[in-house]
Amino acid sequence: MIIIKTYIKLLSFALLTASAMFTGTAAATKYIPYKGSAEAAAKYIPYKGTAAAPAEATEKAAEKSPEDHSAQALEHAKAAATHGMAGHASVLTEHASVALEHAQAAEQVLEGEPKAHMTEAVTHLNEAIKHGKMDHADIATEHVNEAITHINASIKTAEKSTEDHSAQALEHATAAATHGKAGHASVLTEHASVALEHAQAAEEVLEGEPKAHMTEAVTHLNEAIKHGKMDHADIATEHVNEAITHIKASIGE
């Protein structure tokens, strides 16, 4: 019996010792996540990507005249060329993109030769943007310079076109008045119709006071045509004369 009790005590002691050793080891090997040093944490800056290019296009772009769009296209194209020559492909791309928006807006309302030149400018600006994004500053600059040449040509031919339309409107309105005084209502109507076409073409690209006068001319030419078709030569002539007055004011005479 004494031997059995002694054996039980020894066994209990062995079990307690083993349990203590296991608990200590587990505590010693407990996992603690590494959080890094405070210095390292202070230096870490999360990556947020590159900043988006600034939005240059105005929300009221549709309200701008073709002249305004053409001028803005030229301004940004020149800025793009300047940065391109300095090797700043990314900045070139930004300005070329804004120039493209304005060139496309002008292209939509231009016609004839001015439109053809602006279409060429749009083509070259697209190429400039493509090469700018590939960091080909030299090739992109060449296309921007081509675009500048065509934008300038578009502006100059548009100015000449407006002057031509105004001059033609005045010429045919004057002829309409001459025939109206002679009682030729049908011939008055023919000349007034041609004058109206030219006056409307000029009105589309004019702005400010010249545009306001041309708009008045268009109103009177429409009235002249209406009365001319009713064989009211006298009333039609009065409207034609009013149109002449406004066309001259629009031209600056």
SS (H, E, C) 157-197: HHHHHHHHHHHHHHHHHHHHHHHHHCCCHHHHHHHHHHHHH
What is residue 14's predicted lDDT score, i.e. its pLDDT? 54
End-of-domain residue from the set 105, 138, 160? 160
Same domain, 95 and 107: yes
What is residue 65's predicted lDDT score, i.e. its pLDDT? 77
**What is the torsional sign of CA 105, 106, 110, 113?**
negative
Residue from 58, 128, 145 nearest 93 by CA: 128
CATH number at residue 74: 1.20.120.660
Q: Could you tell me which residue, 62 or 108, shows the higher pLDDT?
A: 108
What is residue 117's predicted lDDT score, i.e. its pLDDT? 95
The pLDDT-based confidence of 188 (bands split at 50, 70, 90) is very high
- 91 has pLDDT over 60: yes
Same domain, 155 and 168: no
Each residue's pLDDT tens digit, 232-243: 999 999 999 999
> Domain range spanning residue 143?
64-160
3 within a domain of the structure (yes/no)? no
What is residue 174's predicted lDDT score, i.e. its pLDDT? 97
98 within a domain of the structure (yes/no)? yes
Are the C-beta atoms of 84 and 94 separated by less than 8 Å? no
Number of domains in the chain: 2
End-of-domain residue from the set 160, 180, 208? 160
What is residue 13's predicted lDDT score, i.e. its pLDDT? 54
4 within a domain of the structure (yes/no)? no
Q: State the Cα–Cα distance between residues 249 and 150, nearest whole angstrom.
A: 31
Are the C-beta atoms of 68 and 153 separated by less than 8 Å? no
133 within a domain of the structure (yes/no)? yes
End-of-domain residue from the set 160, 191, 209? 160
Summarize the confidence of residues 56-77 as an average pLDDT: 74
What is residue 53's predicted lDDT score, i.e. its pLDDT? 41
Same domain, 115 and 68: yes
Same domain, 171 and 154: no
- 64 has pLDDT over 60: yes
pTM: 0.55
Same domain, 132 and 151: yes
What is residue 26's predicted lDDT score, i.e. its pLDDT? 42
Same domain, 167 and 244: yes
Same domain, 203 and 220: yes
182 within a domain of the structure (yes/no)? yes
| Token representation of residue 187 | 């011939």
The pLDDT-based confidence of 109 (bands split at 50, 70, 90) is confident
Are the C-beta atoms of 101 and 57 separated by less than 8 Å? yes
Summarize the confidence of residues 126-153 as an average pLDDT: 97
